[in-house]
């Protein structure tokens, strides 16, 4: 039965059914391994469920595409034209997520071309490298980037009003945005600040309140990149 289903494919691309199962199975297993490493090295305790599933399926999808294309140039151009009409819409992600996407695509490409051992070796090597770099903390910032919003009255000269307190509690800071509020009677200052995890946020906010007339102060601990 299976031979009849895949007989036309085998005649054109010289793919046997056992070879097809081996390629798809290898891509799936290696995708699971990459996904597990991603969840282990993710910067938050709750990694994206959808992205983890994507890392599992992406090598399989790439393998299927490579198997379908084979050495047929016309088929390759047809698939390129079909995929060119697809448009993806997603929020900006971590740069490390893009690395994982390229990683899984490379593994799927190797599996689809029949280099199963090569795919397994590069998966093992790169997964070990990612784990070692994560454990070593390579390139990791000394603190956590947070968003600080300070509301000040219009009669307050805010240019240097908070510099002393900010320098006392944060590693680096940058004023990102100034906007008016309440019909111009208030100003809202938005800073991006890098703070050590050992800093007491309550003490930091209390000292700021003493300088802004006890108006609203917001410290966002895990601010999205788009907010800045």
pLDDT at 88 > cutoff 60: no
Q: Output phi, psi for 20, to 5 deg.
A: -65, -45
- How much is the mean pLDDT over the chain? 81
> Among 50-54, 81-85, 86-90, where is mean pLDDT lowest?
86-90
- Three-state DSSP class for 170? coil
pLDDT band at 45; cut points 50, 70, 90: low
Which of these ranges, 30-34, 64-68, 117-121, 148-152, has the smallest mean pLDDT? 64-68
Residue extents of the structural domains in the chain: 2-136, 144-227
Nearest C-alpha neighbor of 34 from the set 119, 100, 105, 115 = 100
pLDDT at 76: 66
Q: How confident is the model at residue 6 (pLDDT cuts 50, 70, 90)?
A: very low
Question: What average pLDDT score do residues 71-98 get?
Answer: 63
The whole-number pLDDT of residue 82 equals 56
Burial label, 62 (beta-carbon count in 10 A; 0-12, 13-18, 19+): buried
26-35, 113-122, 131-140, 183-192: least confidently modelled range: 131-140
Element (H, E) at 219: strand 217-220
Q: Give the pLDDT of residue 9.
A: 44
pLDDT score of 10 = 42
Residue 124 is predicted with a pLDDT of: 95
Residue corresponding to tokens 């100003």: 187
Q: Given a cut of 70, is residue 19 above it in pLDDT?
A: yes
Distance CA 94, CA 144 (A): 15
How does residue 43 score in pLDDT terms, banded at 50, 70 and 90? Answer: low
At 55, the pLDDT band (50, 70, 90 cuts) reads very high
pTM comes to 0.63
Of the listed ranges 120-129, 133-142, 175-184, 192-201, the one predicted with least confidence: 133-142
Domain 144-227: state its class.
alpha beta
DSSP secondary structure letter of residue 61: H
Residues 30, 100 contacting (CB under 8 angstroms): no
pLDDT (average), residues 87-109: 77
CA-based nearest residue to 29, from 124, 96, 156, 114: 124
The answer to whether residue 56 scores a pLDDT higher than 80 is yes
Say what percent of the chain tops pLDDT 70: 77
């Amino acid at each position: 039965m299976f031979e009849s289903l895949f007989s036309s494919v085998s005649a054109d691309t010289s793919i046997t059914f056992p070879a097809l199962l081996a390629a798809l199975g290898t891509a799936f297993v290696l995708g699971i391994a990459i996904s597990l490493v991603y969840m282990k090295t993710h910067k938050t305790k709750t990694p994206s469920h959808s992205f983890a599933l994507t890392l599992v399926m992406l090598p399989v999808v790439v393998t299927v595409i490579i198997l379908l294309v084979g050495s047929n140039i016309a088929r390759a151009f047809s698939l390129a034209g079909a995929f060119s009409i697809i448009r993806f819409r997603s929020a900006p992600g971590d740069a490390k997520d893009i690395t994982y996407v390229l990683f899984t695509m490379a593994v799927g490409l190797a599996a689809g071309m029949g280099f199963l051992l090569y795919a397994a070796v590069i998966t093992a090597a790169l997964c070990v490298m990612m784990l070692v770099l994560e454990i070593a903390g390579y390139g990791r910032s000394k603190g956590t980037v947070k968003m600080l919003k300070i509301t000040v009255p219009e009669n307050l000269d805010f240019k240097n009003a908070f510099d002393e307190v900010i320098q006392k509690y944060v590693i680096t800071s940058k004023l990102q945005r100034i906007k008016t509020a309440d019909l111009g009677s208030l100003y809202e200052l938005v800073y991006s600040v890098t703070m050590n995890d050992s800093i007491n946020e309550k003490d930091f906010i209390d000292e700021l309140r003493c300088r802004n007339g006890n108006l609203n102060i917001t410290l966002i601990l895990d601010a999205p990149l788009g907010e800045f």
